[in-house]
Amino acid sequence: MRVHNYDKSSLALAPYGSYWRLMRRLVTVDMLVMKRINDSISVRRKCVNDMLTWINKEANELEHGHGLHVSRFIFFMSFNLFGNLMLSRDLFNMESENGSEFFDAVMGMMEWTGHANVSDLFPWLRWLDPQGLRRKMDRDMGKAIKFASTFVKERLENEVEHDDEKSRDFLDVLLDFQKNENREAAKISDKDLNIFILEIFLAGAETTSSTIEWAMTELLINSDCMSKVKIELNSVVGAKDVEESDIDNLPYLQGVVKETLRLHPPIPLLVPRKAVQDTEFMGYFIPKDTQVFVNTWAIGRDPDAWDEPLVFKPERFCDRDSKSYKTDYKGQHYEFIPFGAGRRMCAGVPLAHRILHLVLGSLLHRFDWELDSNVTPLTMDMKDNLGITMRKFEPLLAVPKLVVGS
């Protein structure tokens, strides 16, 4: 991700220093503080309701036994959700065949990032760009950054001001800081701002859709788990819609999300680290400037840390007698770090926690789900496709049936 110097402005990839500390503080203190997350509950509810409407409409048009592409709808919802949090606007219209140009550019970036790059294995080939990946990434990232710049320009030209604290979006926070940054050691340039906008969409929409797709897949091939989570939702939520306030009362749903993240972490090698000095670790010498990856996929399947590590078993997080009962993904339990740990841990965990449970719970409570007629639990393809996230190689096709009374 070196094209357009993306790695220099990215919160995830920027080197540790004054700029990284500034951006991290802005995200954790001003953007993703609990009050702001609570203030945006209605935005998440609206986007989830839109998704449920889209799914129901397409379900009514499907031929009998044919499934719909589940992650497609979740991705569209996520894209609009982060569009509202960042820019106070929907960025994708399901009625439009092609979607927005910004959406298309972001999709292109994710496609090229997902390709195996021979230059990563043979760095001396990098300048040749033998697969054309750098050229394609440069093109689509350039388009996406240009659109992000347009969003900022429109906000400034129209002088839109969200005076009400509840209506302030992430762009308001960034622009306010730009106006009052005189005392800071680091500055936020216009390019930094544009890349930050882009990163919100890359990080948020893709990880949400891939995680929910894997959760739905595991539930559809483990019918006993599907029955348990549906019974819990009916008991706790009843005839109303799932709300974020219900999450604490849905321990089995929480177990499903945790177990999905254990087996299918959205970023299996986390964000690359770099040794800032010569280091001795577990008998290995790691020279300064060595790129270091943390294999959270392997950690989540380690038999020394987990009983029956390859079995999808949400109960391990729900049963008080289980050794994993209190294990959580907030960076304190190193056997379970799908979002990382330490100062580079994903800053969006509190928001992701809300979104994942709300979206999955809503899908399961609004619809009964079956596999596409051409697939059975035994023939389900469970291979991964490594890109920005670890997606399912063969997209999940499932048949939704609206629950009576919904």
Global confidence as pTM:
0.91
Kindly give, in sequence order, each residue whose CB lies less than 8 Å from that of residue 263, ignoring residues fewer than 6 positions away: 214, 218, 300, 301, 310, 312
Q: What percent of the chain has pLDDT over 70?
A: 90
Most confident of 110-124, 187-201, 227-241: 227-241
- Which single residue is written with the structure tokens 């936020």? 188
pLDDT for residue 327 is more than 70 = yes
Closest Cα to residue 120, out of 285, 204, 2, 9?
A: 2
Span of 138-147, 162-171, 334-343 with lowest mean pLDDT: 162-171
Q: For residue 397, what are the β-bridge partners?
A: 69
pLDDT for residue 160 is more than 70 = no
Q: How confident is the model over 216-272, as pLDDT tens digits?
A: 999 999 999 999 999 999 999 999 999 999 999 999 999 999 999 999 999 998 888
Task: Check residues 134 and 199 and name the one with the higher pLDDT.
Answer: 199
- Which single residue is written with the structure tokens 């919100």? 200
The response to whether 318 counts as a known ligand-binding position is no
pLDDT for residue 98 is more than 50 = no
Domains and CATH numbers, the chain: 3-402 (1.10.630.10)
- Which single residue is written with the structure tokens 């009374």? 405
Contact status, residue 219 vs residue 353, Cβ threshold 8 Å: no
